Amino acid sequence: MNSAILSIEPEAPAMANVSNDPRWQAVLTRDGASDGKFVFAVSSTGVYCRPSCPSRRPRRENVSFFVHPGEAERAGFRECLRCRPKVLAGNPRQQLVKAICRYIEQHLDEPLTLAKLSAEFRQSAFHLQRTFKAVLGITPKQYADSCRMRGFRQKLKAGHSVTRAMHDAGYSSTSRLYSRTASELGMEPAKYRRGAIAAPIRYLLADSPLGRMLVAATEKGICSIQFADCDEELEQALRQEFPFAVRRRDDGDLAHFVQNVISRMRGSEPAESLPLDIRATAFQRRVWTYLQSLGIGETKSYSEVAKAIRHPSAARAVARACATNPVAIVIPCHRVVRSDGDSGGYRWGIRRKEKLLQMESAK
């Protein structure tokens, strides 16, 4: 016991200039940045505190300093229940941040504010946020968001509905989720879920007049027709579109689909209609169905399509529907051009669109 007391920081109540001790200044100013560097013990109460403790300041002559909470306890002091200095023991910043993380994880279903964390951990909001960011590189709010997003992804993968997964993951409002998920998931939640639980997918890579082509199908029908300059690019795009589906390369079975698509590209009337297995919003479906009614070599402007599907002011949405067409050629979005005669955009590049239109008009 005596040897323990000997390890206490030398404290000399009789010292003349005690109030000049920077540690005492830190206590007087409740300096959060000094938390973890030392604790101060108060002989009149028998309690030790961290410098930022909100409790009333003791008289200077009753105060002694210790580097670690353990030393204060060996000297007979109790931990203050208000500022809980032991939470900051060890590597103080990391301990604090760890504790904040655990707290956030357990309160994901509540709105998280810095003020709340600041009250819970008895740190100024500024100091708490700065410490958190210094250790983890993100703010507490970003950490909470990433926890929610992780939970949300897991629910979707497990096949829960978007609404249910959203609720379970602690999202309070749909709009908030949708505003975040486009960037986080890389796609809309509903689409992500489809990718998550999609049926097994077979695909074939082949040469075409427009470069390398991928045709992918579920057992119900074609789910993707894409073009790119190389196979890696095509396979990566398929992986992004259907991240959790079992994807299997299949050079035999899909060959007749490929022949059908290539003869369409050369401007021949298709010998047979191809089964599709694609998801669409009601609007996309209207646009895509209309496009399938266009003849070879026939083109329409975006606003003409909008009028034809009785949404005359929706030319921009028509352009979006074309840009998100999952099956090139079979849904002939290349036949939609700008009203000034310019060929407009194309999901697989403007050169490919122009070449397609040339091949069709040559017929």
Task: Give φ, ψ of 294 to 5 degrees.
Answer: -75, 145
206-209 contacts at long range (C-beta below 8 A, 24 or more positions apart):
206/258, 206/262, 208/261, 208/262, 208/265, 209/262, 209/265, 209/266, 209/355, 209/359
**Is residue 83 involved in binding Zn ion (CB under 5 A)?**
yes
Piece in contact with Zn ion (CB under 5 A), picked from 63-71, 79-87, 121-129, 171-179: 79-87
Closest distance to Zn ion from the beta carbon of 42 (Å): 9
Closest distance to Zn ion from the beta carbon of 89 (Å): 14
> Which residue, 87 or 166, has its beta carbon nearer to Zn ion?
87
Query: Is 322 known to be catalytic?
Result: no
**179 token code pair:** 């505003």
Rounded CA separation 177/171 (Å): 7
> Which residue, 32 or 332, has its beta carbon nearer to Zn ion?
32
Rg (CA), the chain: 33
**What 8-state DSSP symbol labels residue 362?**
T
Q: Angle 162-164-166 (CA atoms, 0-180°, nearest 5)?
A: 65
Closest distance to Zn ion from the beta carbon of 79 (Å): 8
**Is residue 274 involved in binding Zn ion (CB under 5 A)?**
no
- Please measure the distance between the N-terminal and C-terminal CA atoms of the chain and give it in whole angstroms: 101
Task: Give φ, ψ of 211 to 5 degrees.
Answer: 100, -165
Query: Is 223 known to be catalytic?
Result: no
> Which residue, 49 or 177, has its beta carbon nearer to Zn ion?
49
Closest distance to Zn ion from the beta carbon of 82 (Å): 4
> Which residue, 45 or 343, has its beta carbon nearer to Zn ion?
45
Piece in contact with Zn ion (CB under 5 A), picked from 44-52, 86-94, 313-321, 327-335: 44-52
Closest distance to Zn ion from the beta carbon of 22 (Å): 19
Closest distance to Zn ion from the beta carbon of 52 (Å): 9
**Is residue 162 involved in binding Zn ion (CB under 5 A)?**
no
Residues 6+ apart with CB under 8 A from 148: 108, 169, 170, 171
39, 53, 204, 305: residue in contact with Zn ion (rule CB under 5 A) = 53
Task: Evaluate the CA torsion angle 42, 44, 46, 52 in order and state its sign.
Answer: negative
**Is residue 63 involved in binding Zn ion (CB under 5 A)?**
no
Q: Dihedral, CA atoms, 147, 150, 152, 155, nearest 10 degrees?
A: -130
**Is residue 80 involved in binding Zn ion (CB under 5 A)?**
yes
Catalytic, out of 49, 80, 83, 322 = 49
Catalytic, out of 53, 80, 223, 333 = 333
- With CB under 5 A as the rule, give the number of residues binding Zn ion: 6
Phi-psi category of residue 267: left, alpha or beta, with phi > 0 → left and psi -120 to 50 → alpha: left
> Which residue, 46 or 200, has its beta carbon nearer to Zn ion?
46
> Which residue, 49 or 245, has its beta carbon nearer to Zn ion?
49
Tell the burial category of 238 from Cβ atoms under 10 Å away from its Cβ (0-12, 13-18, 19+). buried
**111 token code pair:** 């709105």
Residues 6+ apart with CB under 8 A from 102: none
207: number of Cβ within 10 Å = 10
Piece in contact with Zn ion (CB under 5 A), picked from 45-53, 57-65, 97-105, 195-203: 45-53
**Is residue 27 involved in binding Zn ion (CB under 5 A)?**
no
> Which residue, 42 or 278, has its beta carbon nearer to Zn ion?
42
**Is residue 82 involved in binding Zn ion (CB under 5 A)?**
yes
Piece in contact with Zn ion (CB under 5 A), picked from 32-40, 74-82, 120-128, 132-140: 74-82
**Is residue 78 involved in binding Zn ion (CB under 5 A)?**
no
**Is residue 49 involved in binding Zn ion (CB under 5 A)?**
yes
Closest distance to Zn ion from the beta carbon of 2 (Å): 27
Rounded CA separation 291/306 (Å): 11
Binding site for Zn ion (CB under 5 A): 49, 53, 55, 80, 82-83
Active site residue ranges: 49, 333
